[in-house]
Every structure is written in C-alpha cells, then in structure tokens.
C-alpha cells in the first residue's frame, strides 16, 4: 500500500490570494490525481498530475486556476489561484500504481480550505 501525506491539513485564506497544497507519497507511483470535495458532496476529479509534463485537466477545470506540478514520482503540488469563497472545499490527492497493488487508488487525508 501507499501512505500519502498532505500539507497543510487546513487553511483559512482571504479571497484573491493563492494557496499551494503539497502531496507526498512514501513510494514511487505511476499516477497521481487531484480531487475536490465541496461541502456535503462527493469527490470530483480536477486533474491527473503527469510526471515531467503538464497536468491533464477535467472539464470545468483550467490550468490558470489550478496549476499543478509533479516533479518526480512521489510528489505533487496543487495551487488554488485567485481564490473566491466558492473554492472552499476539501482538496485530496490520490495515487495508484505502486508495487504489487498496481491498480488500487490511495488517498491522502485532504486539505480543508476555507476562503473568506
């Protein structure tokens, strides 16, 4: 299995500012993803973080708003830019493709973001 940590665990930010969330996996993984969970709702995929190249974004999400980096096989960052109260959500990273558990997806504990 993979153990995933995220920093920060929570933050309160002012509108118009940006926050970068870090995701660290304890082993090399093939794929990393970023999800958003809005209050009372299920998870929505934001993008696939590609190692060494630009992330692949889902419909409704754009790079200018959610720039993502993945410099190596164990680390990724998601930035929420020019924040508004509508960005208040839990942001979760996930990983899959590690060792013999190649297809199981593991999740970090999430970052709870509140925008005021």
Partner 1 sequence: KQEVTQIPAALSVPEGENLVLNCSFTDSAIYNLQWFRQDPGKGLTSLLLIQSSQREQTSGRLNASLDKSSGRSTLYIAASQPGDSATYLCAASDSGTYKYIFGTGTRLKVLA
Question: Angle at the Cα of 112 (from 108 to 113), degrees rounded to 5?
Answer: 135
Closer to partner 1 by CB, 30 or 84: give it.
30
DSSP 3-14: -EEEE-SEEEE-
For partner 1, the binding residues (CB under 8 A) are 1, 31, 33, 35, 41-45, 48, 58, 92, 94, 96, 103-110, 112
β-pairing, 75-80 vs 89-96, is unpaired
Closer to partner 1 by CB, 6 or 74: give it.
6
Distance CA 63, CA 59 (A): 11
Closer to partner 1 by CB, 56 or 82: give it.
56
Least distance in angstroms from the C-beta of 88 to partner 1? 14
């Amino acid at each position: 299995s993979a153990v995933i940590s995220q920093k920060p665990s929570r933050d309160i930010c002012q509108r118009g500012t940006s926050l970068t969330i870090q995701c660290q996996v304890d082993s090399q993984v093939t794929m990393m993803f970023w999800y958003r969970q809005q209050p009372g709702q299920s998870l929505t995929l934001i993008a696939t973080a590609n190692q060494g190249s630009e992330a692949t974004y889902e419909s409704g999400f754009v790079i200018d708003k959610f720039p993502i980096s993945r410099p190596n096989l164990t680390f990724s960052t998601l930035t929420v830019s020019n924040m508004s109260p509508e960005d208040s959500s839990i942001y979760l990273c996930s990983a899959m493709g590690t060792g013999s558990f190649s297809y199981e997806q593991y999740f970090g504990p999430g970052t709870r973001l509140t925008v005021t």
